[in-house]
Amino acid sequence: MMAVSFSKLTIPKFKESRWVELARKFILCFLFILGFTILEVYPASKEIIRLQADVTLLQQQIRDLQKSFDSQGAVLKTLVEQLSDQIAVLKKSVEEVKGSNQQTQAAVSARIDSITGQFSSLNSGVDVVLDKISKLSQQLAETKTKVESLDNPPPTGTNPGAVARTGPPSPEELYNAAYADFIKGSYDLAKQGFEEYLKHYPDTELSDNAQYWIGESHYVQRKFSDAVQAFDKVVQNYPKGDKAPAAALKKGYSLLEMKNNEAGIRELRGVIQKYPNSDSAQLAKDRLNAIGAPTEKTSSIRKSSGRR
């Protein structure tokens, strides 16, 4: 076997220096590339960091806006609920006021009807007193006639008691009998009596009264259509009579009771215009106010305002 001595083995120098040179070049190239890469990456990293900061800031602003929106939304919701509650309260108040107004109008209307009834009763009482005075005057005249007949006896051969009365009863007797039936509530008999009176005495101081009480008899019996016709005859046949204003007033009442509001309001306004200083005119105003109707036509009010 042959022995090898490593001490005598030598590596050529040119080979050793070549490898070292290559290593150096490789290291230099690596360092150059690494430095270039670092130089390129560093500015990009700064830009990324800045963008990330901007994104973070935007995200924070979005969160702040979301919180603000949630807070304002809660406030708006609360305000809407409060407004809804206030609207409900106002609606309830309006309904209460409306109901109270209707009750007030009904009470006023009932009061007016009551006053009207009292006024009619008062008129009736006055008429009764006047009728009694008329009757007493008639009795006084008859008594005076009897006294005069006693002072001046008829010639011999005549019989005073044998004088037979012919023709209808006196106007006072007919009127008083019919009015007594009305006071007792016998309205049909009263109408017959007053119609009989007008048949025989159509043009006396009490003729308009008789026609008026015919209308009142119908009105009390709620025969409003007949009442309208009867009251209208008072106004047409006796326009200057004492009962004309009251007849026109009750005609208006009757039309309202028949739900003919337009004609009823027109009739009551006519009472105010034709008889402005009468009690009937004041009652007509009260009734118009009670039903919420103006006492004058709107057009006439506007014309008067324009002239001013």
pLDDT at 55: 75
Return all residues near 229 (Cβ < 8 A) that are at least 6 apart: none
pLDDT band at 204 (very low <50, low <70, confident <90, very high): very high
Is residue 268 a part of any domain in this protein? yes
Range of the domain at 219: 170-296
Higher-confidence residue: 13 or 284?
284
User: Which of 23-32, 69-78, 161-170, 235-244 comes out lowest in average pLDDT?
Assistant: 161-170
CA torsion through residues 101, 103, 106, 111, sign: negative
Is residue 275 a part of any domain in this protein? yes
Percent of the chain with pLDDT over 70: 56
Higher-confidence residue: 60 or 176?
176
pLDDT at 94: 73
pLDDT at 303: 45
**Strand ranges in 150-193 using DSSP code E only, listed in sequence order:** none
Residue 299 parent element (H or E):
helix 298-307
Mean pLDDT score, 254-263: 95
What is the model's pTM? 0.48
Closest by Cα among 259, 242, 247 to 284: 247
pLDDT band at 162 (very low <50, low <70, confident <90, very high): very low
pLDDT band at 308 (very low <50, low <70, confident <90, very high): very low
Is residue 141 a part of any domain in this protein? no
Number of domains in the chain: 1
The pLDDT of residue 183 is above 70: yes
Contact 173, 208 (CB under 8 A): no
pLDDT at 209: 97
The pLDDT of residue 13 is above 50: no
Structure tokens at 291: 């039903």
Domain with residue 282: its CATH number is 1.25.40.10
Structure tokens at 234: 């008072």
Structure tokens at 50: 């800045």
- Taking phi over 0 as left and psi of -120 to 50 as alpha, with beta for the rest, 162 belongs to alpha
Is residue 183 a part of any domain in this protein? yes
Is residue 208 a part of any domain in this protein? yes
Is residue 136 a part of any domain in this protein? no
Output Rg (C-alpha) for the chain, integer angstroms. 58
Rounded to 10 degrees, what is the CA torsion of 68, 70, 75, 79? 130
pLDDT at 5: 47
Mean pLDDT score, 234-257: 96
Q: Could you report the per-residue pLDDT of 276-304, keeping only the tens digit for each?
A: 999 999 999 999 999 999 988 765 444 44
Neighbours of 174 (CB within 10 A): 21
Higher-confidence residue: 270 or 126?
270
The pLDDT of residue 14 is above 70: no
Rounded to a whole number of angstroms, the distance between the first and last alpha carbons of the chain is: 156
Is residue 65 a part of any domain in this protein? no
The pLDDT of residue 216 is above 50: yes
pLDDT at 49: 78
Contact 191, 217 (CB under 8 A): yes
State the chain's mean pLDDT as an integer. Answer: 75
Is residue 237 a part of any domain in this protein? yes
Mean pLDDT is highest, among 12-16, 53-57, 161-165, 184-188, for 184-188
Percent of the chain with pLDDT over 90: 40
Contact 231, 251 (CB under 8 A): yes
Closest by Cα among 172, 178, 263, 174 to 217: 178
